[in-house]
Structure 1
């Protein structure tokens, strides 16, 4: 396995109309102060959840982040050992969880959310069946819970506070998306009428206000390709990168989706494979974009200019690919998102095989 650095940067410019896709504790759209002005913000956690759901839509196997990992194991254990009673199954499961320092409460749930993949649950159940009459091996159980990773577990990692041995280093980083320009909060005053209300009692049955904004967002994520290879293996990692890029580009958090119907597609996507360090190009928007027939084209220009500026600081990228459905003066290297992904996979395969001496 190569020890060289290999990072994929994913840059997206996307215009979102009136929306409230990621709310704070007061119900208002999240914001950030950057460059001295207020920006719309969508948290990284919110978009990672959207990516995980997009994986499911694309029929990609994902894990479960749950407090009910023990129940999943019980179901799997009784599938391979149907003769086990519930009491006997729970006795074995509690012994396994205790050995690896995962605490179960009286309700058989873990104290914190635990990410587990279907492969890990299935293999652990098989291990328990095969070793029912022998002493449990902590190292073997730990190895099972570190292997057979689902794509979301490998990308986003896992932290187990009670047992750091079970931690999985995340291979991907996702930035908080922010608007390339200043935003001003807006409010929708709404009322609702009772369909069966009599004419003698006029007036609304319910009224309220809802805060929203509209924004052209800069979205960024990166993948440590070699870390992902360590988590999944070479072939699965390359396919995992492809699926992550596709899902990151096409997904969107669903907050107030029914209220605003705000699902849009990106206006620009740029992928950069780097041999040295990931680079977030948000600095191109530290000086907020000013409105002049919209923000999108100016934002794309700022992004590509900032990319050129970074070449004075870091090594030239191995490959830089981009796609935009707009008719822009900037040259793009792909004709569609599918073409972009195919070119990414071809280049990534070539680089990985070369780095590992397989060419």
Structure 2
């Protein structure tokens, strides 16, 4: 029996970036978007999802994180040799390729024809199947469908060779946009030749780099009922959401980061749990925040008011948790819900609430 009960996690952030160019277009310019009739700074969802996935790998305590690569034969071959060190490198590569081909994943020159997304547990189990000589397509594909890595479950997997291996994403990530209008600026730079002749004047190299600065509104959501179905375990699902909240707050695309050192953190992280539908609050900034004494305070006020206004259309949230670096009014605290004072406390509170809520989901199924 399938439950009709739903549970969604909305995660919002206000984050200021100094002069930077963390996400460029094909001409090297910072990405932008027209919204509310005004040009805004923009960071694509793909760029921030990549940063979140990298954070999972670097800081997550969970081992089952996905790898997306053309070198999928090499990845599985390494798992084969970890399982049985007596197998030579060439044998492992041949065995991995044979097993992947049996699962209907096309390869050429021992590389996938298209990027393939595979979880750590999936790769280990596929390696064991390869050693055991399993070549049945259905059995191998069952391995590739089971135990999805946290980032595969969240962000999905598309397999052109066989759509049955596709994994629907349980998360949606919006393009981050500035709460205000921006103008792209140009940094003219010169580089000197350290070994140039003493009487040589001028630079060894010169050019320009484009940049802007902005206060961004960031948003993502997770269909927790779908995510729990994918992960299959309440404890794992809850701990994964704690990691996702941490990664959403602390991750940052690294474009031109050596040039600008724009390693900021959010001024506000807000999590809202809903039982009816997710709600993106970007409409708070359709009318751009005006330049005055900075954008953060007004952006937070706008976000709180928009959260209040949405209640005319949707149900009261199950829970609201936030952490901020800023002073907020009593009225705004009421809109944002429970002040957790730190990201660690927010994660703890979130985990406790989610475990109870997801157990209820399972009981109703």
TM-score bracket for this pair, using the shorter chain length: over 0.9
Q: Distance in 2 between matches of 1:86 and 1:251?
A: 36
- The alpha carbon displacement at 1:340 in A equals 1.4
1:93-242 pair list within 5 angstroms: 93-105=96-108, 107-130=109-132, 132=133, 136-233=135-232, 234-242=234-242
- Greater shift in the superposed pair: 288-297 or 323-332: 323-332
Question: What displacement does 1:341 show?
Answer: 1.5
2:22 paired with 1:16 = no
TM-score with structure 2 setting the length: 0.93
State the 1:76 CA deviation.
Answer: 2.1
Q: What secondary structure, in the 3-state scheme, does the structure 2 residue paired with 1:270 have? A: strand
Match for residue 55 of structure 2? Answer: 54
Query: Any residues of structure 2 matched to 1:27-106 within 5 Å, and which?
Result: 27-60=28-61, 61=63, 62-84=65-87, 88-105=91-108
**Normalising by structure 1, what TM-score?**
0.94
Q: Secondary structure at the match of 1:41?
A: strand
Give the CA deviation at 1:2: 3.7
1:349 is displaced (CA, Å) by 1.2
1:95, distance to aligned residue in structure 2 (A): 3.6
How far off is 1:55 after superposition? 1.4
Deviates more, 1:56-65 or 1:183-192: 56-65
- Contiguous gaps of at least 5 residues in structure 1: none
Distance 2:86 2:271 in 1: 52
1:83 Cα deviation after fit: 4.9
Specify the alignment match of 2:323 in structure 1.
323
Q: Structure 1 residue 199: deviation in Å?
A: 3.1
Listed one character per residue, the Cα deviations across residues 72-110 of structure 1 (whole Å, up to 9, x for unaligned) are 2222224434554556545543443233321111x2100
Match in the other structure for 1:292: 292
Does the 8 Å contact 2:193/2:203 carry over to 1?
A: yes
C-alpha distance in 2 between matches for 1:286 and 1:56: 36
CA distance in 1 between counterparts of 2:208 and 2:10 reads: 39
Given that 1:9 and 1:271 are in contact with CA atoms closer than 8 Å, whether structure 2 keeps it comes out as yes
After superposing the two structures, state which structure 1 stretch, 327-336 or 45-54, moved more: 327-336
Deviation per residue, 1:229-251 (Å, 9 max, x gap)? 11112211111011001101111
8 Å CA contact 1:172, 1:224 repeated in 2: yes
Task: Tell me the SS of whatever aligns to 1:272.
Answer: strand
Instruction: Answer yes or no: is the 8 Å Cα contact 1:325–1:336 preserved in 2.
Output: no
Q: Match of 1:349?
A: 355
Residues 87/260 of structure 1: CA separation in 2 closer, same or farther (3 Å cut): closer
Distance 1:245 1:155 in 2: 12
Structure 2 Cα separation of the partners of residues 128 and 72 of structure 1: 13
Asked if the contact 2:104/2:137 (under 8 Å) is kept, the reply is no
SS in 2 for 1:356: helix
Following TM superposition, by how much is the alpha carbon of 1:186 offset from its aligned partner in structure 2, in angstroms?
A: 0.6
CA 1:57 to 1:202, structure 2 compared with 1: closer, same or farther past 3 Å? same
Q: Report the alpha carbon displacement of residue 314 of structure 1 after superposing the two structures with TM.
A: 1.0
Could you list the per-position Cα deviations for residues 109-135 of structure 1 after superposition, in whole angstroms to 9, with x for gaps in the alignment?
0011101112111111112223x2x6x
Q: Indicate conservation of the 8 Å contact 1:100/1:163, yes or no.
A: no
User: Matched residue of 1:143: which SS?
Assistant: helix
SS at match of 1:357: helix
Conserved? CA contact 1:8–1:278, under 8 Å? yes
Matched residue count = 354
